[in-house]
Amino acid sequence: MQYSSQDDGCMNADREGFLINRRRTSSHVIIIWRRHARNIFGILITSLLSIQQHQSRTTAEYTPVVALHEDTTCVTMATKGGLLGFAGPAAPKPARPPRRRFLRRWRRSIGGWAVIATLLLLSRWSPADVLTPTTSAATKREFYGGLQKCHDGYDHSPHEAAVSARRQNPRWNPVSGQKAAIIIQNATLFDGELTLRDRVDVVFDAGVIRSVLPTALHSPFPVNAQVIDVQGAFVTPGLVDMHSHHLLLSFPQLPATKDVNESPLLGPLTSFVRGVDGFNPDDPAIRIIASGGVTSSLIPPGSANVIGGEAYLVKNLPRPGPDSEPVIEELLLDHGIPDAQRQRYLKMACGENPRRFYGHTRLGLAWLLREELNKARELHEQQSEWCSAAFRIEKTRFGQSQQIATFVQQHGKRPEEFKLDTLVALLRGELNLNVHCYTPDDLERMLAVLHEFDIHPRAFHHALSAWQVPEFLKHLEENITIATFADNGLYKAEAYESNLRGPKILDDHGLRVALKSDHTGEGNYAKYLLDQAATAHSFGLSEAKALQAVTSIPARSIQQDHRIGYTRPGYDADLVIWDDHPLQVGATPIEVFIDGRAVLKPNGLPEIPNQGYPRHAPAVRPSVIGDEGEHICNQVRDKSRAQILFTGIQQVLLPATGYSTPNHEETSILFENGQITCLDSKSACLAHASHETLTQITLQNGYITPGLVAFGNKLGIEDIASEPSTGDGKDVKGATDPLNERKSVSFAKYGVHLHGRAFSRAQVGGVTKAVTPPLSAGIVQGVSVGVRTHEHASILDGGLWKDEVALHFTVGQGARNDDTPTVSSGIERLRQVLEQGEKESAGVYARAANGSLPVVVHAFHQDDIAQLVRIKQDFRAVNLVLYGGHGAPLVARHLAEESIPVILTGNRGAPDHWEKKDIPVGPPLTDSAAKTLLDAGVQLGLAIVGDSGVHALAQHARAAGKQAGLTEREAIALVSTNIEEILGLQKGTEREHYVGDFVVWEGNPLAGEGSVVVSVLEGGEVADCWPDRVGAVL
């Protein structure tokens, strides 16, 4: 900046400049300058350049200036850069002729007066008066409102850059939050990646983990800290379930609170709906699920729609806020974080579900999705153009108001369509996309559609056939996670190709595998999410990967691995103390911490029991390569080799056999024609054997159990529940005249088809027999049949081991139909059937009444069960068996007094329906149903609902036995000989030697470590041999 010092005015401007004499105008110019500085730039530039162009007679470059001095001011405009400047005194000019000097002065005065006139007008008018078009307040609001949305879209950054031990948990509050520091001392820690070799102390305060240090360092603890010495017990991060539907399907489920799917009124494309708008923050499932160690859950809408809507991530801490009130916002993991910084999630689906709900084909659904995404892309492009132009105006230094007015007049406000906001955000990369798809073809086409719009999903959910195309998926989506089940399958066509080894296969190919619940109720209960990891490990997934599958891998997939999924400094204090190695069958939390707050015992320290069970991970069940298995099985099935000797037996879990097991030498077992002829030392059994026809099989960790019995499943009567053509069929209305036996009673023996995927799983699980009732609605279900499960079973060759096992009834809400529209009328009709049977001498009802044919009644509610107790009191001869029995623990004493046995499906029952709302939910919150019944003296057997889990009967027995304090022999009897005794089918215990079905295992089947080596039927036939072979689809 330059200053002039002439006394008589600014005389340094040449003919391209202009002069303002300060003596006449400086005061007014300064006032105008101060008031209208911003707009003077634009107007003054235009005026001065116009004058300059009119007066200029030379092309020489120059820099006009504004000269400021005590006496004079010169305002000029640069021809380069368009900036106002200030200059000092000009050099003297040579004298010129008077006439030319007069003309130049005249021109200067005209130009000067023009500028002065302009400035005077500006002093009278507001900036809005001189802008064309006018920049109104509404115009500015439109522009800046749209501009802010542009910034929100580009600046969306929900993730923390780094984790610090000094960070604050945004969910913590001083009223209800963790008060004092807590130290979990002497822990065996799986930290989210691996199990640490040395024991550690975990310190957490205000809901954040502050340190994880070796116990051996004896580090000083914070003052007033609470110390929990866990004596080496396992500690893990809180489990992360990346697919659950609680809060949308509250316990107990009622039509009034079922908000999981928005269908069909808004159609299959509902990106605009939000799961959070249907949450029930007081869902009893929250605490129950947390008691299983699940601390965080992603809750998406259901899969009825191609685009289901936005999902939300919650912490399973009931009423966590300072007022302990049921507030949805306080459940959200991102509570305390500004909305713009929260991670968003979107749910999509393909395949059967949207097809079934809307009647479209896959072709039509793909088109609808493409059409909707194309609309969003067009809107996104329009918004991007608008925002780019708006950003340029935002950066403008001069004339911004005029440009805003012109821009809004030409372009309008930012393009918007409220319905498409979520999809536009998806195209901008703001949403974490999770897609429900099962089969390779659906996975491929969904990726093709999404890639057309440059969209990349974070996870495929369910994906039960993804194991068939791991390389294809890996090459198309390198960051994809497969969020799947370990064993849930077979329930519909697209789930029929599930594979128990699926998680291992996917992991072997380098894909990340997360295991999730898909919680909707008892069938896929989020409380037992850890069972998924244990099953996947049993079938080959490594210990570390199995635990990662329910902690760090889902946390990474949902982009929260900076807060959850790990036990490391700076992470949320979500931790679980276990009573066993987490992958051991029946492992149960001792305490669960969420944001540093204890869930199970919020007002006291947990009691750490003496660890009676192993703290090591269970072994992976062994498999054999095809040739090796064939060699063994050929020998076993060789009719000329009537004797088979198994050595290396560690445990014999058969009922009384008449033999004693040696404790000083390796146990061996010799059987001939299916009967055990020696259970003794190897040398003793060899003495009984004929070496010419002997087949010897050496085991490393041999177990022998009775053949297991699956009760109440659909084995043989239906392959796929959602496909009627794959089964016998079902009378959906039920019998209209139950008292007419000929018309009302169905016999399963006439409708069974042997073989199928469920039979394969039964063989792997050591199940040699199944009891299958007919498919029927109403109170009378019909007469069940006993079927063989082995691969060579035939209806004409012993495949039906008992034609008529029991007469089945159902009491409760599920039995209501036209004939018995109420529960009470159903119980009345059961009584009438038995009364009629007492009057008859032959027929099914007569046999039921006299006790020769067991009467199995399926019931849940404790009062309905109490009615069955009264029936037993009135019909003493009836061999009454309770099946299901979720409410049985509430009337256990009465069941024992009336000698009513229970085949229990509710040992891991959920209060998911009104009939079951009062049932005990099991450890660690209550005693298990099995323990309560056994303690009361009730004869007990165990069953499971659904065929996909039939392979795990032994593990269910182990879990029940652990909770009830049973021995391994007593536990395995729950799913084998106890069932036979309850139904009056037991043969072996009345003879000197056990002659029932038995199974030889390599490994402990109760711990999920055992593979079937051979199963032998009671007649001596070798049924199955090494069904779990490498490469088999299980």
- Residues 834-860 have pLDDT tens digits of 999 999 999 999 999 999 999 999 999
Indicate the number of domains in the chain.
Answer: 4
Length of the chain counted residue by residue: 1034
pLDDT digits (tens, 9 = 90+) for 766-777: 999 999 999 988
Residues 686, 827, single domain; the answer is: no
Residues 363, 471, single domain; the answer is: yes
What's the average model confidence in pLDDT over 366-390? Answer: 97
User: In this structure, is residue 593 part of a structural domain?
Assistant: no
Mean pLDDT lowest for which of 59-63, 96-100, 652-656, 683-687?
59-63
Q: Give residue 6's pLDDT.
A: 41
User: In this structure, is residue 471 part of a structural domain?
Assistant: yes
How do strand 1022-1025 and strand 1011-1016 relate by DSSP bridges?
antiparallel
Q: In this structure, which long-range contacts are made by residues 952-955, counting pairs with CB atoms below 8 Å and at least 24 apart in sequence?
A: 952/487, 952/535, 952/765, 952/1008, 953/708, 953/710, 953/765, 953/766, 953/767, 954/705, 954/708, 954/765, 954/766, 954/1005, 954/1006, 954/1008, 954/1010, 955/534, 955/585, 955/1005, 955/1006, 955/1007, 955/1008
Q: Give residue 753's pLDDT.
A: 95
Cα separation, 273 vs 281, whole angstroms: 18
Q: Give residue 680's pLDDT.
A: 87
Burial class (CB in 10 A: 0-12, 13-18, 19+), 821: exposed
Q: Give residue 37's pLDDT.
A: 45
Could you write out the DSSP letters of every residue in 149-184? HHHHHHS---S-S---TTPPPTT--TTTS--S-EEE
Of residues 116 and 147, the one with the higher pLDDT is 147
Residues 974, 1006, single domain; the answer is: no
Residues 755, 687, single domain; the answer is: no
Residues 253, 112, single domain; the answer is: no
Residues 961, 1007, single domain; the answer is: no
Mean pLDDT lowest for which of 158-162, 175-179, 299-303, 573-577?
158-162
What's the average model confidence in pLDDT over 74-86? Answer: 39
**Average confidence score pLDDT of the chain:** 87
User: In this structure, is residue 2 part of a structural domain?
Assistant: no
In DSSP terms, 941 is beta-bridged to 903
Residues 500, 637, single domain; the answer is: no
Residue 884 belongs to a domain with what CATH number? 3.20.20.140
Q: Is 513 a residue whose pLDDT tops 70?
A: yes
Q: Is 67 a residue whose pLDDT tops 80?
A: no
Residues 344, 403, single domain; the answer is: yes
Residues 28, 112, single domain; the answer is: yes
Cβ neighbours around 340 below 10 Å, total: 13
| Sequence-ordered alpha helix ranges (H) in 184-292 | 285-291
Q: Please report, rounded to a whole number, the percentage of residues in the chain having pLDDT higher than 70.
A: 84
Q: Please report, rounded to a whole number, the percentage of residues in the chain having pLDDT higher than 90.
A: 71
Residues 408, 443, single domain; the answer is: yes
pLDDT digits (tens, 9 = 90+) for 856-875: 999 999 999 999 999 999 99
Sole residue written with tokens 């016998």: 728
Of residues 1018 and 978, the one with the higher pLDDT is 978
Q: Give residue 171's pLDDT.
A: 98
pLDDT digits (tens, 9 = 90+) for 611-623: 655 579 999 999 8
Q: Is 3 a residue whose pLDDT tops 90?
A: no
Inter-CA distances, 915 with 13, 253, 453, 864, 885, Å: 99, 10, 48, 9, 11
Closest CA to 227 of 172, 187, 169: 187
Q: What angle do CA 603, 609, 612 make, to 5 degrees?
A: 160
What's the average model confidence in pLDDT over 81-107? Answer: 48
User: In this structure, is residue 487 part of a structural domain?
Assistant: yes
Could you write out the DSSP letters of every residue in 439-496? SHHHHHHHHHHHHHTT---SEEEE-TTGGG-HHHHHHH-TT-EEEE-SS---SSGGGT
User: In this structure, is residue 584 part of a structural domain?
Assistant: no
Per-residue pLDDT band at 898 (split at 50, 70, 90): very high
User: In this structure, is residue 184 part of a structural domain?
Assistant: no
pLDDT digits (tens, 9 = 90+) for 281-333: 999 999 999 999 999 999 999 999 999 999 999 999 999 999 999 999 999 99
Strand, coil or helix: 387: helix
Q: Give residue 1030's pLDDT.
A: 81
Q: Does residue 712 contact residue 906 with C-beta atoms inside 8 Å? A: no
Cα separation, 296 vs 242, whole angstroms: 8
Per-residue pLDDT band at 114 (split at 50, 70, 90): low
Alpha carbon dihedral 354, 360, 363, 369, in 10-degree steps, equals -50
Per-residue pLDDT band at 666 (split at 50, 70, 90): confident
Cα separation, 469 vs 267, whole angstroms: 32
Last residue of a domain, which of 564, 589, 608?
Answer: 564
Alpha carbon dihedral 478, 479, 483, 489, in 10-degree steps, equals -10
Cα separation, 797 vs 709, whole angstroms: 20
Of residues 991 and 560, the one with the higher pLDDT is 560
Residue 636 belongs to a domain with what CATH number? 2.30.40.10
Q: Is 31 a residue whose pLDDT tops 70?
A: no
Burial class (CB in 10 A: 0-12, 13-18, 19+), 568: middle
At residue 186, φ and ψ (nearest 5 deg) are 65, 40
pLDDT digits (tens, 9 = 90+) for 475-498: 999 899 999 999 999 999 999 999
Closest CA to 298 of 364, 246, 350, 360: 246
Cα separation, 520 vs 527, whole angstroms: 11
User: In this structure, is residue 543 part of a structural domain?
Assistant: yes
Residues spanned by the domain of 44: 22-130
Q: Is 108 a residue whose pLDDT tops 70?
A: no
Identity of the residue numbered 854: P
Q: Is 673 a residue whose pLDDT tops 90?
A: no
Rounded to 10°, the helix 400-411/362-394 angle is: 160
Residues 911, 1026, single domain; the answer is: no
Sole residue written with tokens 């659909």: 714
What's the average model confidence in pLDDT over 629-642? Answer: 78
At residue 652, φ and ψ (nearest 5 deg) are -115, 115
Q: Is 35 a residue whose pLDDT tops 70?
A: no
User: In this structure, is residue 1013 part of a structural domain?
Assistant: yes
Q: Give residue 49's pLDDT.
A: 44
Residues 961, 1028, single domain; the answer is: no
Last residue of a domain, which of 95, 130, 165?
Answer: 130
Cα separation, 972 vs 657, whole angstroms: 16
Q: Give residue 989's pLDDT.
A: 47
At residue 833, φ and ψ (nearest 5 deg) are -60, -45
Last residue of a domain, which of 564, 584, 607?
Answer: 564
Cα separation, 185 vs 194, whole angstroms: 18
pLDDT digits (tens, 9 = 90+) for 696-733: 889 999 999 999 999 999 999 999 999 999 999 987 77
Q: Does residue 655 contact residue 706 with C-beta atoms inside 8 Å? A: yes
Q: Give residue 696's pLDDT.
A: 87
Of residues 307 and 116, the one with the higher pLDDT is 307
Could you write out the DSSP letters of every residue in 735-786? -S-TT-HHHH--BGGGT----SHHHHHHHHTTEEEEEEPPPB-SSEEEE-EE
CB-based contacts of 248, cutoff 8 Å, min separation 6: 258, 259, 260, 275, 278, 279, 280, 299, 301, 302
Q: Is 45 a residue whose pLDDT tops 80?
A: no
pLDDT digits (tens, 9 = 90+) for 415-447: 999 999 999 999 999 999 999 999 999 999 999
In DSSP terms, 776 is beta-bridged to 731
